Every structure is written in structure tokens, then in C-alpha cells.
Amino acid sequence: MAETTGSARLARSIAGLLAASDDPAIIAALLPGCEKLHRIDAEHIEGRLATEVAGIPVTAAVSIRRTVEGLAGGASRLHLRLKVRPDIGGQAVIAALVDLHPVDGDENATDATWRSSSELDPMLAVMAGQRVEEFLRASIEQLIAGLAR
């Protein structure tokens, strides 16, 4: 299991970030190789992607679970769980908790901090563990930053 943390000031309000994180078209545009996602229910979207991981072509099913928790002071916690199931078998999961805090004096900015952890099933860990974990880490960071566009 790999754990990472990060932070960024995002040029969008918390409400705007949460709305973007709930839009399958926006999420699809932010995931490498993902063309389209569709909503399964209020918390889940899924689809397919075709991309490269360390130069190796990969096609996979992808699903995202998204929930929101209200915090004190107008802040919110966005829970994101990205699950990738390559066509060759196995699965990889990255879960991120993204804390969104309003920026004093700027209603169109949000301070975001996150912590994420990834897990690979044994098959993927043996085949391409470090490369898959790097792909997951980069994907979740791109997704978080891209919500501000």
C-alpha cells in the first residue's frame, strides 16, 4: 500500500468543486484515457479507459465512488475512491480524502489538502506494482487539480 499527501489552492469555490466532482463528463475528461463515464447511482459512476502505464497499453473498467461530508466553518471533505480493473485481470484502488477549506476574502478560491492510499491485488503488484501505483497517484492528483478548471 502506498500513501501520499498533497495540497493546493484551487481557483474555484467549494460549491463549484463539489459540483464538478459530481459530473461524470468532467471526471472522464480528467482521467487519462477515459472517454465516457455514466452514473450508476448517486454515489457511483463507471466506464472504461484505454491508456498507457509506463509505456504499456492498458484497457480497463473504471469506477468512481464519491461522497461528501460537511465540516465545521464551511469546509467539506470529499471522499473519492477510484477502482481500475484491467482487462488482463486484477484490480487497483486508490482512495483519497480531500479537505476543502474556504479562503478568507476570496469566495472563488479553496484550499485543498488530501491524503490518499492505494492498494493493488497481488497479481498487479507482481506484474507492475510501482508503475501502477504511480499511475494511480498521478491520476488522483490530476483529478483533484482538474476540478478547478
In this prediction, residue 39 carries a pLDDT of: 96
Mean pLDDT over each residue of the chain, to the nearest integer? 90
In this prediction, residue 56 carries a pLDDT of: 79
Q: 32 lies in which domain range?
A: 2-146
Residues 6+ apart with CB under 8 A from 48: 34, 35, 36, 59, 60, 61, 62
Global pTM value:
0.88
pLDDT range class, residue 128, cuts 50, 70, 90: low
Q: State yes or no: pLDDT of 126 exceeds 70.
A: no
CATH number of the domain that 85 lies in? 3.30.530.20
pLDDT range class, residue 57, cuts 50, 70, 90: confident
Report whether 99 contacts 71 (CB < 8 A). yes
Query: What distance in Å separates the CA atoms of residue 105 and residue 99, rounded to the nearest whole number?
Result: 19
Number of domains in the chain: 1
pLDDT tens, residue by residue, 83-103 = 999 888 888 899 999 999 999
Query: What distance in Å separates the CA atoms of residue 17 and residue 127, rounded to the nearest whole number?
Result: 36
In this prediction, residue 129 carries a pLDDT of: 63
